[in-house]
Chain A
Amino acid sequence: MIWQTAVIERIEQTTPRVKSFFFRVALEHHDAGQHVDIRLTAQDGYQAQRSYSIASAPGAELLELVVEHLPEGEVSSFLHDVAVVGDEIEMRGPIGGHFVWRQSDEGPLLLIAGGSGIAPLMAMLRTRPATDTLLIYSTRTWEDVIFRDELLAMDARVRVIFLITRELPRRAEDFGTRIDRGVLGSVMKQWGCAPRHVYVCGATSFVEAAATALVDEGIPAAIIKAERYGGA
């Protein structure tokens, strides 16, 4: 897979710690859920590579990546503190043939995200799934909810539940706790659908907790797909 030049067309600060980067790049068609690799090169030839999920819908004019700023993070700090509109970044992709959802896969669809793990699930939601969809999205605070307005404006077939772990939830349907079997069970009961596909994405510890809760709730492991971003 070859490296291509991607040009930053727009940068948006979406939460206090997250920016969206919109690239103009001629990658092949992607499926919702896939990621790209980016490669940065210093003057002396030193290089760093990282993976980022594609948040934009397949076919969108610009490719959107959602990058959380990790303190001391080599690549996320560069993107947040140094990169500006017009900069060229090397990119290759789309990559990954497991954590993907296409309209033809149908549903019902259960999506579970922690923090920046919303990115590939957003690409799925943006294809406007023609099936019942439940998104459970965990962040520390209301301010940390990426794509909040867009999520709140989703179609009626998409139910969105926020788990806000470090302050009181704002909406009656949301929860002020971390993901566990109890929360998952009650949210799924209210939803009333049996999922056909489940996608879980976020930091490794979040994915472990969510996937364990799913299995404990009796969801077959074979329908659960997980993308682990790393970190604690």
Chain B
Amino acid sequence: MNARADSVRAVSAKLAVRGLTHRYSMGTPPTELTVLSRIDLEIARGEFVCIIGESGCGKSTLLRMMAGLLMPSEGEVLHDGTRVRGVRHELGFVFQQDAVFPWLTVEKNVAYGPKSRGVPKAERERLVAHWCEAVGLTAFRKAFPKQLSGGMRKRVDLARAYANSPDVLLMDEPFAALDVQTKAEMQDAVLDLWKSTGKTVVFVTHDLDEAVFLSDVVVVLSSRPGRVHAIVRSTLARPRNGETRVGDAFAVAKRTLWTTLQQARGRAVAPAKARQAPPTTTERA
């Protein structure tokens, strides 16, 4: 691959990760722990990308580096071809923990980003109205987070991230703490937001069903150190809904992903007898 082709690819990717390595040093005397090793990724504009891997493989670390919350030990993250050196509002983040400010009302939470960036009041008001509506919280605009359920607080979190005009949303296991029913509703909500805005989403999860249901592309990480084990492109049709979850194609896609994940964990998988080649493409990275 020549240098020219390389630079063209960098510009076409919404978010590119190049040779990203991260080491944490801990303990006394400090020992270095390599959490991620030479990660390369290209995420196209408008794509819904899921990252899966077992607990502790470095998913959060990777996403925090993409957001500019954490600086990599080596390598770089490129957003629209420019190097990410710190947080930027174009890179929105939704955390696993409850990160909604409990001392602000729902509408003030949603207005927080725009206000930080000096968006005029009238425009802020419009953004708040629009995003509260988009996540179905218009009736709760004046409520404090403690008055809302866990799922509703996650909706506030989503509205707050989208209201800040990001062009990439980085979500770190945002629904991991929710019950199954609420989780499914939130997945529908996130797909609605993705469809209506067309904004790129990078979604970390360790839930296979979630990854299969949401993604265009699943990045499977291996552990210790975290590396890209495989990139699996989904062949499930869109739009996806309750029907999708119980369809045969879903089961097959999940099986493929499961097998890949087992391999990433270094476990042998007995070949399924008389099973057709799954209708998904798996390329080893």
A and B bind: no
Interface of A with B (CB < 8 Å)? none
Interface of B with A (CB < 8 Å)? none
